[in-house]
Structure 1
Amino acid sequence: MKKEIPFGLATIPLAAMIVVMAIAVVYLEQGPHMPLIFGTTVAAIVAWRVGFQWDEIEKMMYKGIRLALPAVVIIMLVGLTIGAWIGGGIVATMIFYGLKIITPSLFLVSICAICAVVSLAIGSSWSTMGTIGVAGMGIGLSMGIPAPMIAGAIISGSYFGDKMSPLSDTTNLASGLTGTDLFVHIRHMLYTTIPGLIIAFVAYGIMGLKYGASGMDAASINQTMEILQKNFVISPFLLIVPVLVIVLVAKKVPAIPALIIGIILGFISQIFVQGGSVSSALSALQSGYVIDTGNKMVDNLFTGGGLDSMMYTVSMTIVAMTFGGILENTGMLDAIVKQILKLAKTAKGVVASTVVSCFATNATCSEQYISIVIPSRMYAKAYREKGLHSKNLSRALEDGGTLTSVFVPWNTCGVFILGTLGVHAFEYAPYAILNFVVPIISIFYAMTGITITKLSDAEMLQAGNEEEETAAV
């Protein structure tokens, strides 16, 4: 017979998943999929023990997956876009002109800005740090700038684009899992992220003045620009494509049509501007663009994209949502959230609690994606009940989840940065300014009510109807 699941019992699946996640991800250096499947299994057993039948549990998993389907579609389109834009020379053109803005006196500001532009173009902080970031570390060190300082500027810029790009998987996850339009989500994040970036630029400008007079060996940058010119047709006209997508965003065109237009233009550019064949352009869409210039940095940056590259994220999302589906529909999440909301009884407290919970998930689950997936399901109902628009939740998820992952040494992001940039999380933490300033701004907004959007009466009614329809499925 079904009964309300007590708090202690509700925490068992989450605790089991966290323990296995720590062992698998941190110690064994494996992905998060198997720990999530283990957590799903434990959750199913707990649900069965309290009286749920297997067919009910199965429907709960499907219901969780169904919630993620819009995000899955967008993520797949993102893979196609990246492949098309790399093959079409659009990314190369953006990077080429971006590299031109580096100046010795403003190196930290410049490398942060370049990483922001590149990650905004490709939607990936890891790809940006693993390519432009590596080059930036070498150049900065030759100027006598401390490694943690350089790494902090690179991370801040890289995560700006990772958070704000419509091509980013975390951006699409946060918007998709909360039922928020992608571009509504991005526009709402401007209120916290742009001030954070400005603060970072000012801080890097002040820090960089001490090192600007020593000069800079720009040989590696010039070499990269020469390789780009040899392998791609670099033209300012190609910048029309990302500009057009931005215009479509401003005109509030839905995400899927906007991305499809970008994909088509990138596909056409690869054939008619870069001189590629139809076969190679199709291959870039399916399996990603491949290049071999002999330069490891350039090859790493421009080999990627495509539908296949997104299957890891898609499968992770599906597995995570089976776990979330059981936790939510059995009432386990409600039992956990009730305890949290005893400390956060107001709308202000809920938003602040979301940011803190995302960081806690990063620290306990060791995976950036999970810090978005789990809190999104934990707090969705609380936001509706308190009359808060879903874009408040989606922004809090990114402010607290996407950005803070870099501060946890055993999180996959912290491990990646250590291996790529050679700097430990505790060393670069004071200099990853955007990453810690934005969550602070987000909590400040929550406490003061600034930019916190309430649902109108009509939206409240609609949200209630949608909740009833979802529950009936």
Structure 2
Amino acid sequence: MIITILLAGLLLILAAGIRCGFALDDLIRMAVNGIKKAVNILIVLAIVGIMTAMWRADGTIAYIVSSAAGLFKPSILIVTIFLMNCLVSFMTGTSFGTAATMGVISMTIAGTAGVNPVISGGAVISGCFFGDRCSPLSSSAILVASVTETNLFDNIRNMLRTAAVPFVLTCLIYGAIGLGGANQVDATSVSDVFAKEFQLNRWMILPAIIVLGLSMLRVDVKQSMTLSIVCAVILCVVFQHRSAAEIIRIMLTGYRAGDPVAAQMINGGGLLSMKKVLMIVCMTSTYSGIFSGTGMLDGITEYVKTISQKTGRFLCIVLLSVVTSMVGYNQTIAIMMTEQLGCVLYKEQENSQRAVDLEDSAVLISALIPWSIAGAVPAATIGAPVYCLAAACYLYLIPICRLVRKKNIFPGCNN
């Protein structure tokens, strides 16, 4: 549906460009130039799809989930749910993947303990978007770095700074809620389910360690993920006894567990799983190329400047993110539209500020819109009501804390 809408929008933009006096050939050239600027993110997204499939197939995710499940204790259940989903999302870089693994486990355990699904669902969603925002594997973090022409690891360092207070506040809120008490839970069944599907041992954590370790050493994300995939392939052969043909199939179409219970928790990944987001990035990149080449958005950007003068820059970006998230109902579209319309508010040397402003607004706000797939899909995946987004306090505490700060985050930059 969204691809059809984007294609229709592209045709309308082309028609508008022709009416403005631009030749169709020139408009197509502008669109292609927009896609060329997104080649790096397209490559990274494809690698992410393959890697997440291999992490499923070699037992990495199963090992992480099995190990973490035993950490859930009644008195700190809600905050533990948040922290465990933060951990998995940071390691995998995907909110959808985290929701389908640790999120499902968390909701199962929370349900057994009698926790309100709105509260537990909000904690899961908050944790899912912790890594979706600041993991070196996150497609949104990579996308923001690409469109703002900034260094991914510098952005992550800045994001951790702006997230520090909201993170602590979120832990305190969920910790206080958890003091109400919960029933004792038995998480051993989680390990039993995965034991039927995988041969699990400590080696399974190695692909995740490779990515995180090399990321801290600032190795190019494409190289670190490729090495992680190679390691996962070796683990698949040595421990899970998978054939070359099966591994290739998993890379393309994703992992499919034989056990139906395990399948609900761990199925997914693969190059084809990224086809929709790849198409969305391509389509929105054509928009960006045409808008940049024709100046179609000049009128809107002038209006954005006017609003910024009245509200302040970051509040203007937040408001712009709300609109783009409501209209686009997709995180990628919200990021690219907000960047395209809001970039006029920043000087060339302020790209780092621009990047963190996008991360603190469009990346998170898109998940708070009930009809946006950014938040609705994870909520549906974990079986929580969509209004659990109201309990995902981490998502809105970041922009709120930014807005109440009196001092700039970066000296010399106006928020």
TM over 0.5: yes
Alpha-carbon spacing, 1:306–1:147, altered in 2? closer, same or farther (3 Å): closer
User: Letter of the aligned partner of 2:303 in structure 1?
Assistant: Q
Alpha-carbon spacing, 1:122–1:292, altered in 2? closer, same or farther (3 Å): farther
Q: Distance in 2 between matches of 1:134 and 1:225?
A: 14
Q: Distance in 1 between matches of 2:314 and 2:33?
A: 25
Alignment match, 1:412: 373
Does structure 1 residue 275 correspond to structure 2 residue 238? no
Does structure 1 residue 234 correspond to structure 2 residue 200? yes
For the Cα contact (< 8 Å) 1:175–1:181, is it kept in 2? Answer: yes
Alignment of 1:32-71 (within 5 A): 32-71=2-41
Q: 2:263 aligns with which of 285, 299, 302?
A: 299
Alpha-carbon spacing, 1:292–1:121, altered in 2? closer, same or farther (3 Å): farther
Q: CA deviation at 1:381?
A: 4.7
Alignment match, 1:105: 75
Q: CA deviation at 1:335?
A: 2.1
Does structure 1 residue 264 correspond to structure 2 residue 264? no
Q: Distance in 2 between matches of 1:444 and 1:65?
A: 37
For the Cα contact (< 8 Å) 2:49–2:271, is it kept in 1? Answer: yes
For the Cα contact (< 8 Å) 1:79–1:305, is it kept in 2? Answer: yes
Alpha-carbon spacing, 1:91–1:45, altered in 2? closer, same or farther (3 Å): same
Alignment of 1:373-412 (within 5 A): 373-385=336-348, 387-388=349-350, 390-412=351-373
For the aligned residues, what is the CA RMSD?
Answer: 2.4
The percentage of aligned residue pairs carrying the same residue is 25
Does structure 1 residue 319 correspond to structure 2 residue 249? no
Q: CA deviation at 1:278?
A: 2.3
Alignment deviations for residues 225-245 of structure 1 (CA, whole Å, 9 cap, x no partner): 112223222222332332232
Alignment match, 1:216: 184
Structure 1 gap segments, 5+ residues each? 1-29, 455-473
Q: CA deviation at 1:444?
A: 4.4
Which deviates more, 428-437 or 118-127?
118-127
User: Letter of the aligned partner of 2:260 in structure 1?
Assistant: G
User: Letter of the aligned partner of 2:258 in structure 1?
Assistant: D
Alpha-carbon spacing, 1:423–1:83, altered in 2? closer, same or farther (3 Å): closer
Alignment of 1:165-184 (within 5 A): 165-184=135-154
Does structure 1 residue 310 correspond to structure 2 residue 278? no
Does structure 1 residue 153 correspond to structure 2 residue 123? yes
Alignment deviations for residues 328-362 of structure 1 (CA, whole Å, 9 cap, x no partner): 2211223211111123249x933442233122211
User: Letter of the aligned partner of 1:412 in structure 2?
Assistant: I
For the Cα contact (< 8 Å) 1:129–1:155, is it kept in 2? Answer: yes
Q: Distance in 2 between matches of 1:119 and 1:164?
A: 9
Alignment match, 1:372: 335
Does structure 1 residue 357 correspond to structure 2 residue 323? no
Q: 1:433 aligns with which of 393, 398, 403?
A: 393
For the Cα contact (< 8 Å) 2:331–2:362, is it kept in 1? Answer: yes
Q: Distance in 1 between matches of 2:195 and 2:111?
A: 26
What SS does the corresponding residue of 1:291 show, helix, strand or coil?
Answer: coil
Alpha-carbon spacing, 1:198–1:234, altered in 2? closer, same or farther (3 Å): farther
Structure 2 gap segments, 5+ residues each? none
For the Cα contact (< 8 Å) 2:104–2:265, is it kept in 1? Answer: no
Q: CA deviation at 1:184?
A: 2.6
Q: Distance in 2 between matches of 1:255 and 1:377?
A: 25
What SS does the corresponding residue of 1:448 show, helix, strand or coil?
Answer: coil
Alignment deviations for residues 115-147 of structure 1 (CA, whole Å, 9 cap, x no partner): 222222333222332443344334324433322
Q: CA deviation at 1:452?
A: 5.9
Does structure 1 residue 73 correspond to structure 2 residue 43? yes
For the Cα contact (< 8 Å) 2:73–2:185, is it kept in 1? Answer: no
For the Cα contact (< 8 Å) 1:409–1:424, is it kept in 2? Answer: no
Q: Distance in 2 between matches of 1:202 and 1:319?
A: 41
Q: Distance in 1 between matches of 2:343 and 2:355?
A: 10
The two structures have a TM-score, normalised by structure 1, of: 0.81
Alignment deviations for residues 88-122 of structure 1 (CA, whole Å, 9 cap, x no partner): 22222111211121111111011112222222233
Q: Distance in 2 between matches of 1:315 and 1:250?
A: 30
For the Cα contact (< 8 Å) 1:352–1:442, is it kept in 2? Answer: no
Alpha-carbon spacing, 1:135–1:95, altered in 2? closer, same or farther (3 Å): closer
What SS does the corresponding residue of 2:258 show, helix, strand or coil?
Answer: coil
Q: CA deviation at 1:421?
A: 4.6
Alignment deviations for residues 396-420 of structure 1 (CA, whole Å, 9 cap, x no partner): 2222122122322222234335534
Alpha-carbon spacing, 1:294–1:280, altered in 2? closer, same or farther (3 Å): same
Q: CA deviation at 1:325?
A: 1.7
Q: CA deviation at 1:192?
A: 2.0
Alpha-carbon spacing, 1:133–1:63, altered in 2? closer, same or farther (3 Å): same
Alignment match, 1:25: none
Q: Distance in 2 between matches of 1:289 and 1:143?
A: 30
Aligned residues: 414
Alignment match, 1:289: 255
What SS does the corresponding residue of 1:217 show, helix, strand or coil?
Answer: coil
Alignment deviations for residues 429-471 of structure 1 (CA, whole Å, 9 cap, x no partner): 44211111112233445x62124686xxxxxxxxxxxxxxxxx
For the Cα contact (< 8 Å) 1:175–1:394, is it kept in 2? Answer: yes
What SS does the corresponding residue of 1:231 show, helix, strand or coil?
Answer: coil
Alignment deviations for residues 29-81 of structure 1 (CA, whole Å, 9 cap, x no partner): x3x21111122221222221121111211111111111111110110111121
Q: Distance in 2 between matches of 1:424 and 1:230?
A: 31
User: Letter of the aligned partner of 2:152 in structure 1?
Assistant: L
Q: Distance in 2 between matches of 1:417 and 1:255?
A: 25
Q: Distance in 2 between matches of 1:86 and 1:210?
A: 35
User: Letter of the aligned partner of 1:334 in structure 2?
Assistant: D
Alignment deviations for residues 129-169 of structure 1 (CA, whole Å, 9 cap, x no partner): 24433443343244333222111111111111222223322
Alignment deviations for residues 284-327 of structure 1 (CA, whole Å, 9 cap, x no partner): 222222212121xx213322222222121111110111122212
Q: Distance in 2 between matches of 1:227 and 1:421?
A: 18
